[in-house]
Structure formats: structure tokens, C-alpha cells
Amino acid sequence: MEILRVENLSKIYGKGETAVKALDNVSFTVQKGEFIAVVGPSGSGKSTLLHILGGVDRPTSGKVYIEDTDIYSLDETRLAIFRRRQIGLIYQFYNLIPVLNVKENITLPLLLDGRQPDKSQLDELVSTLGLSDRLDYLPNQLSGGQQQRVSIGRAIISNPALMLADEPTGNLDSKNSSEIIGLLRLLNQKRKQTLIVITHDERIALQADRIMTIEDGRITRDEVIRS
């Protein structure tokens, strides 16, 4: 089942002579349950692509369909609600809300929807994340790995159609990195969670079903390594 379709996506920063083409006519599709690693040198447009897929940055031209919804045809409010329900974003620097505790950070997308999380579901999730005894902690009381796990929890809580991660292990030591990789892989396998991860970490890349290489805003390689 097709979960994501990208058509002729371009993103140009700046104007006139100083314009930089961050994405140049990119098209591809992603099936449900795929685990895609996006690799490429810095400045190649990986992050831009991810942000556009995540609905936080607007493309200059082209379309993004997530579960058949043209996300950039939505107005700002609907796009926000769409993000809340259909997209999970994970950043290198966790970007947790410092004033909310672990539980609130994880359930933030639900809270924004005015929902209460299902208790048993939440319990399962936090035990998978290994955060059961940290629910009341504030982000600054957690280690980097724990914070990243919280942000994974936040990304998965609403069962999003698409989970996007930008260098999720970029800021972590090797032990924490492998935990995070393991978690992502687990979510992908067990929940058939569609996952697109930008990474420089070859361990993640090797876990993926498909590796996409971006150079100068174009997809230069796209190979399925397992199916």
C-alpha cells in the first residue's frame, strides 16, 4: 500500500543569483511498512526533503501525498492537525518541551487534540521505551538517550502514517545509538511503521529496507536492500 508519493518536488532558497536549489525535481513513492534510510553529504538537501515531507516547510513546487492527501493543499490549521495525527517527527536535538514532563511530552500530540491517551497503550509504549520509572521527570533530568526515546514516543503515540527522523543518533554515544536504532527497527517491524530516517550512521542504514542517496538535491541512488 502506498503511503507516500512525492512528485517533482523542488525547493529553492533565496532569489535571483543567490538562489540555492536544495531539492531538484525529486519524485519517489514509499510503501507502507518501509524503512528507508536517506544518506548523502551535508547540504545535499536531505533535511529539506524531510522537513517538506513532515509538513513543516513548504516546497517551491511539486506535490507531496501522504495517504493520498496532498498535504500542501491544506491550510495552515489543517496542516497542523494533519501533522499532529499523521506524522511523527524526531530530531537530532530531541526538541522536547522543557516545561512538560516525560508523560506529557510523549502524549503532546494527543493533548493538543484534547485527548487522553489510552492507559494500557501508554503503559506498553513507555515500557518499550524503558521510561516507565521516568514519567514524572522533566527533560533536563534525563540523559540524551532517554530524551531521544521520549521524542520517539512522542512521534509514535498517535500511530502516524509516516515517521520521520533527522539524524536521530547524531547526538548520542554508541550505546545509546544502538538502543535508538533497535527501537526504530522494532517499531518498523512490529508495527509496520513506515520510517524515513536521515542518517550518517551506517548501522542505521544497514537496518533499512531501502537506502536512498541524495546528492545536490537529487536522488542519485535508490536501492532496495531487503524486502
Q: Which of residues 7-66 bind another protein (CB under 8 A)?
A: 32, 47, 51, 54, 56-57
127 in contact with another protein (CB under 8 A): yes
123: CB partners within 8 A, 6+ apart: 132
Window 157-176: residues binding another protein (CB under 8 A): 159, 161, 175
Report the distance separating Cα 220 and Cα 200, nearest Å.
16
Q: Residue 197's closest CA among 225, 170, 158, 179?
A: 170
DSSP symbol at 118: P
**101, 117, 200, 215: which one contacts another protein (CB under 8 A)?**
101
Judged by CB under 8 A, the stretch of 35-43, 104-112, 213-221 that binds another protein is: 104-112
Judged by CB under 8 A, the stretch of 37-45, 183-191, 215-223 that binds another protein is: 183-191
The answer to whether 43 and 215 are in contact (CB under 8 A) is: no
Q: Residue 191's closest CA among 224, 163, 154?
A: 163
Judged by CB under 8 A, the stretch of 38-46, 131-139, 214-222 that binds another protein is: 131-139
**36, 37, 125, 142: which one contacts another protein (CB under 8 A)?**
125
83 in contact with another protein (CB under 8 A): yes
Distance of closest approach, residue 1 Cβ to another protein, in angstroms: 6
68 in contact with another protein (CB under 8 A): yes
DSSP symbol at 41: -
User: Which residue, chain included where needed, has cell 527522523?
Assistant: 165
